[in-house]
Structure 1
Amino acid sequence: MMRFHRDIIEDETPYYDAAFSFYNALEPRLIAVNTCLDVFAQSLDQVGVMEMRRCIDNTGGTLIVEDETTDIMFLESLKRYWQRCDLQAGTVQGEAVAQEGTPSSGVSGGYSPHCGFAVHMEVNTSVGTLPRGALGPCNVDVEANKRGPTRLTSPLEVGAGGTTRWCVSYLDKGMTLSFLFDTATANSQQCGMESAHEKRFIQFVTRYITPRGEQRVRVTSVVQPTTPPTAPPDYYTKAGAFDQTCAATIVARMAVSILEKHPGKWDDAKRWLDTLLVRFVRRYSTFSPGQPNTLRLDPCLSLFPSFMYNLRRSEYFMVLNISPDETTFKRHWLLRESVDNCVLMIQPTLDSYDIEKPFATPMQLDSSSLRHDNIVLMDAYFNVHIMWGSIIYQWIEAAYHENPEYVNFAELLESAERDAQAILSNRYPYPRFSRTDADGSEARHVKTRVNPATNYHNSDMQYGAGVNGAVDQADVIYTDDASILAFMTSLKKAVVTIDEKAED
């Protein structure tokens, strides 16, 4: 690579500061004319999109970076960019295309735009619910704040905070923003006022211009029950009021926001993440002090620690051998995609296929799932991989799938391929796709994301045995990373050890 993260932190890139300042100065000029910066570039190592990141994100722009402009990943991503915008929807051209049989959202009399320009958002809340900030492709609406005073906000700012008004030059149907609120306000008078009510409301007012030039206002109002002042911690779990995937996405975006403000503070960000997780589990779990084995989490909370474990091991924290431009690219999409897609970025899915079960069988993201006699399909959002076990690969090399006597084996290979193509047909941006055997060079993309339950330190352990119950069927992962078992053991010990000073 031409440069590493360490080079930028240690000021060994002489042109970085000047380029970063240039694009930061360009950002307010683009916002003033309701224009976003879209970047479609070649090569993850040499473009310099890290300098452009704030200008792209804060204006609502799109970042597509691939190895080659002639590669299918770049061409399909560019094609799907225009499909997501669908600028012809509702126009004469769009209706003509629809009449020719091509799907289009431009339906006469029922125009539904897929994107908007000059977007201005405002949040109204009931007393005692204070906006902390927004995470995602948006900026504080400075001009709107000049025209009138903003409502009261929380002193605990997150992301673009200190306001109830935000703006972005461009917004499409797939873009999501995260808004955080403070319900434990510092104003005791307001707390008392809200506690007298059983409901709180949050209202989002979005103003934008459609591609046809129409000005539209969309108002979304949400009413939520308030928590009784004396409610115990299990009040939320009994009500099923915790969304683990949404919470994981919020925490990941907060971590990216912290690293954006404090580049190079990866260790501090990890400590912040660990502290947050320990306090969360301590508050909402049940346990006996000093006894780790007594700790229990409600099912609606039980997956959250594993999300945090995989977040710590993802490219958002592990930046070794990853170029700054690639990190920028992946952070860009984490800040704008839906919750389901963001969870894939944090914790990939893993499906297994074997002779006994020639269909997708969800598996734990664990090295014990990588057996010699199965095929695994990993979906890590930016990467989709089919990995054949060593026995499966030997059968492929022997061309068994071409022999009519082994039609079931051919169907097994086709099943994994068909599911992979289904993912590729809808993913935006188009992911990197590979087929490899367990010893191939591309297998590293799978092995680095699974929990190393069977590594060279503990390959004889019976933890996490595969479907066939034999650890020796699983691949050994050569890494010094802690397994999720070690992570959870440390988490339990930290939770049940009550430190009065820390609690204060």
Structure 2
Amino acid sequence: MDPEGIDGVRMTWNIWPRTKIEASKCVVPFAASISPIRHHRDIISLPYAPLCCANCSAALNAYARVDFNAKLWICPICVHRNKFPLHYHQISETNLPQELYAQYTTIEYTLPDQPGAAPAAADHHSAFVFVLDTCMIEEEFDFAKSAIKQAIGLFPDNALVGFVSFGTQAHVHELGFSDLAKAYVFRGDAEVSKEQVLEQLGLAASGRRGPIGGYGFSNAALNRFLLPASECEYTLDSLLEELQTDQWPVKAGCRPLRCTGVALSVAVGLLGACSPGTGARIIALVGGPCSEGPGTIVSKDLSEPLRSHKDLDKGAAPFYEKAEKFYDGLANQLVDQGHVLDIFASALDQVGVAEMKATVERTGGLVVLSESYGHSVFKDSFKRVFEDGEQSLGLCSNGILKINCSKDIKVQGIIGPCASSQKKGPSVGDTVIGEGNTTEWKMCGLDKSTCLTVFFDISSSDQSSNPSGDNLLYLQFLTSYQNPQGKKLLSVTTVCRQWADTDISTEELVQGFDQETAAVVMARLASLRMETEVEFDATRWLDRNLIRICSKFGDYRKDEPNSFTLNPNFSLFPQFIFNLRRSQFVQVFNNSPDETAYNRMLLNRENISNAAVMIQPSLTTYSFNSTPQPALLDAASIAADRILLLDSYFSIVIFHGSTIAQWRSLGYQNQPEHQAFVQLLQAPQDDAQMIVHGRFPMPRLVVCDQHGSQARFLLAKLNPSASYNESETMNDVIFTDDVNLQVFYKHLQKLAVQS
């Protein structure tokens, strides 16, 4: 069962109150999580552009009312009457165009080419510039180089490829000249503008006669720095063979000089020479922190550690704000150009993902954090970016999302991988959440798993403002984008939900509550506020909101905690919030700022089911006498004769109980009479592989035994129902001062029923 359905839309509330005041009492915001271009097998594709409303430009859809005699349709969103054009005149009750079929609430249209567009522009609809860090140890450098070689072998022949390497300086390699390795050098210690990059590479406007041969690229750039993969594979291979780690001497007690900021500026400037509308990605492999030039995050002196969360809180991170501002400017430049930055960071310490976050998130880029370029988390994830077929990510470019909504509904903004186009309209809300002040967003890069959370506001203050007399509300999401083959597509999803009839009964609202979506939306909102508000206390905010929800929607007698019960639509919500409070999104002190930024970027771009697993991992138990079964995320689920499989999205843990581990080390699985044991050991391995296979980035796989050192990966996620405070139980004791779920729930009952 696919909870996202054909539309890929899930809402916190599926029934909405009529007024602003009633909405504010609901505590959990009115939000929709949308996957703009997921490829669902039931979505039909039409070979023409949609018919749009003359008043609000919403596309004709299954909810439109049609007058077949007068050949009119009434837009459900703004109630405007539209005449059908001539080619729709055969329309009747028995002869409907497919966009009016009730089951096609999401439709994909193939848009015709713009008149006057050069037909050959589709020859090169994508460009990739690799940016490779050379300040690494030999072994890591070899892993990184071989990953790039493998990637180039997977490119379509007509994809354009460029290459920049950097250490103390940044080098742009000329690929159109294979007899001799030739590179342009940029100093690593000074900012460099787009104009300076083009000037130095000889691509400045004066020396350029505009796009030639319909390539959509200036010819000079095309033939020297960006070449079709088929033409430069050999040159790049030999270049990578000969490329050495940064040879600049590093003083004792100092970090290597690494000019990440300059290298990325140069790559962005180089792609700025492309014609607009070319989907282009910068793929950066970064092996350590920037210590030179713009974007520096740490001093050259090794005795000064990288900033921690504590330093950020105390204002003791001297480079942070300046670096963040620099990357924010780079993000704006990328969004203007319509290009994407992907970061593959591999290092034992941080590389500055926290500072670079905006450049990745606002351009819709990918980010992967791993310990080494030799680790499967990096190698398998990197390969998947370039793979074709079922496993491909379906990387698309030049996306634009527009939202239309019924009167009285305003859009506050979006959390997720996009950038606001600052296009004001009547349905722009006063409050801004995330990327706001607009009803149109730019997604330079998007793929089939991209997900956005849209926040809505109900603006009406009275009951009577319903013009069409029905109790339905409509939202329409229009996403235009270019697919990997260069075709321009438009995906239109129209959803219809109900207004609640009365403002007195909460029963209707309860029926429309989606507790999984609500938990994820609260997590995204708490993460955003932790990043943007100085004194924000996420744990207190979550607790207060949970108490408010339980006292509004719970059933109880005043001041009698034991009488408290929750409707099944709400009953899992307290447990989600309990796990969210303990998760890495809220408890940041044992994570580095880079890890926190990375976790939040993934939380914000994945669909609800995946994001829910990040907050509340799933646990499955395997034993001799039963089929695999879901288990409680609790210390009580550990048993000597069981295997547990924990999926926390970022990592997957296979945990063997002590008896099973003992039998395994005695080699029982190698004896023919113990086939059942062989199968028991294999089942969680197979299930783990299935999960790993469909996920990006690749999760880390941990295989461990009860009482072993790696068991901490499982124990950290379990409810400490047996902790050392009350350790007379036989189970594994979890050393923590956290309250357990049972105590948490007792407190919640007590506070929710207080008069």
Mapped to 1, the partners of 2:433 and 2:376 lie a distance apart of: 38
Structure 1 letter corresponding to 2:319: Y
Q: Once the 2 structures are TM-superposed, how far is the Cα of residue 153 of structure 1 from its aligned partner?
A: 2.8
Does residue 45 of the first structure (1) align with residue 349 of the second (2)? yes
Q: Find the partner of 1:241 among 512, 531, 546.
A: 512
Mapped to 2, the partners of 1:343 and 1:422 lie a distance apart of: 18
Q: Give secondary structure in 2 for the equivalent of 1:335.
A: helix
Does residue 484 of the first structure (1) align with residue 741 of the second (2)? yes
The 5 A counterparts of 1:288-303 are: 288-303=557-572
Mapped to 2, the partners of 1:230 and 1:424 lie a distance apart of: 46
Q: Find the partner of 2:724 among 456, 459, 473.
A: 456
Q: Once the 2 structures are TM-superposed, how far is the Cα of residue 176 of structure 1 from its aligned partner?
A: 0.4
Mapped to 1, the partners of 2:487 and 2:675 lie a distance apart of: 58
Does residue 341 of the first structure (1) align with residue 624 of the second (2)? no
Assess if the C-alpha contact under 8 Å between 2:414 and 2:455 holds in 1.
Answer: yes
Structure 2 letter corresponding to 1:252: A
Does residue 141 of the first structure (1) align with residue 424 of the second (2)? no
Taking a change above 3 Å as real, the CA distance of residues 103 and 277 of structure 1, as seen in their structure-2 partners, is closer
Partner of 1:394: 662
Structure 2 letter corresponding to 1:155: D
Q: Find the partner of 1:257 among 525, 528, 534.
A: 528
Mapped to 1, the partners of 2:653 and 2:688 lie a distance apart of: 8
> Normalising to structure 2: TM-score of the pair?
0.57
Taking a change above 3 Å as real, the CA distance of residues 225 and 169 of structure 1, as seen in their structure-2 partners, is same
Assess if the C-alpha contact under 8 Å between 2:391 and 2:694 holds in 1.
Answer: no
Comparing 318-327 with 59-68, greater Cα deviation is found at 318-327
Q: Once the 2 structures are TM-superposed, how far is the Cα of residue 78 of structure 1 from its aligned partner?
A: 0.8
Tell me how large the CA RMSD over aligned residues is. 2.0
Percent identity of equivalent pairs: 35
What is the CA deviation profile of residues 286-319 of structure 1, one whole-angstrom value per residue up to 9, with x for unaligned ones? 1111011111111111111101100010101111
The 5 A counterparts of 1:365-404 are: 365-404=633-672
Q: Once the 2 structures are TM-superposed, how far is the Cα of residue 191 of structure 1 from its aligned partner?
A: 5.9
> Normalising to structure 1: TM-score of the pair?
0.85
Q: Give secondary structure in 2 for the equivalent of 1:222.
A: strand
Q: Once the 2 structures are TM-superposed, how far is the Cα of residue 353 of structure 1 from its aligned partner?
A: 1.3
Partner of 2:586: 317
Mapped to 2, the partners of 1:2 and 1:442 lie a distance apart of: 26
Structure 1: give runs of 5+ residues left out of the alignment: 87-101, 106-112, 461-470, 499-504
Mapped to 1, the partners of 2:430 and 2:481 lie a distance apart of: 29
Mapped to 2, the partners of 1:420 and 1:217 lie a distance apart of: 36
Q: Find the partner of 2:425 among 146, 150, 169.
A: 150
Assess if the C-alpha contact under 8 Å between 2:576 and 2:616 holds in 1.
Answer: yes
Mapped to 2, the partners of 1:425 and 1:104 lie a distance apart of: 8
What is the CA deviation profile of residues 445-504 of structure 1, one whole-angstrom value per residue up to 9, with x for unaligned ones? 1101100001111233xxxxxxxxxx52x2111111110011111111111013xxxxxx
Higher percent of residues as helix: 1
Structure 2: give runs of 5+ residues left out of the alignment: 1-304
Mapped to 2, the partners of 1:215 and 1:365 lie a distance apart of: 45
Q: Find the partner of 2:676 among 388, 408, 421.
A: 408
Q: Give secondary structure in 1 for the equivalent of 2:636.
A: helix
Partner of 1:116: 396
What is the CA deviation profile of residues 141-171 of structure 1, one whole-angstrom value per residue up to 9, with x for unaligned ones? 13xx2xxx41233333322233222222111
Does residue 353 of the first structure (1) align with residue 622 of the second (2)? yes
Q: Once the 2 structures are TM-superposed, how far is the Cα of residue 440 of structure 1 from its aligned partner?
A: 1.4
Aligned length: 451
Q: Find the partner of 2:476 among 186, 193, 203.
A: 203
Structure 2 letter corresponding to 1:365: L
Partner of 2:199: none
Structure 1 letter corresponding to 2:406: S
Partner of 1:91: none
Structure 2 letter corresponding to 1:415: A
What is the CA deviation profile of residues 195-227 of structure 1, one whole-angstrom value per residue up to 9, with x for unaligned ones? 943111111122223334333332221122211
Q: Once the 2 structures are TM-superposed, how far is the Cα of residue 342 of structure 1 from its aligned partner?
A: 0.3
Q: Give secondary structure in 1 for the equivalent of 2:703.
A: strand
Assess if the C-alpha contact under 8 Å between 2:519 and 2:612 holds in 1.
Answer: yes
Q: Give secondary structure in 2 for the equivalent of 1:158.
A: coil
The 5 A counterparts of 1:323-334 are: 323-334=592-603
Mapped to 1, the partners of 2:735 and 2:397 lie a distance apart of: 49
Q: Which has the larger radius of gyration?
A: 2
Does residue 232 of the first structure (1) align with residue 534 of the second (2)? no
Assess if the C-alpha contact under 8 Å between 1:26 and 1:55 holds in 2.
Answer: yes
Assess if the C-alpha contact under 8 Å between 2:340 and 2:365 holds in 1.
Answer: yes
Comparing 35-44 with 10-19, greater Cα deviation is found at 10-19
Partner of 2:52: none
Mapped to 1, the partners of 2:634 and 2:462 lie a distance apart of: 51
Q: Give secondary structure in 2 for the equivalent of 1:61.
A: coil
Q: Give secondary structure in 2 for the equivalent of 1:250.
A: helix
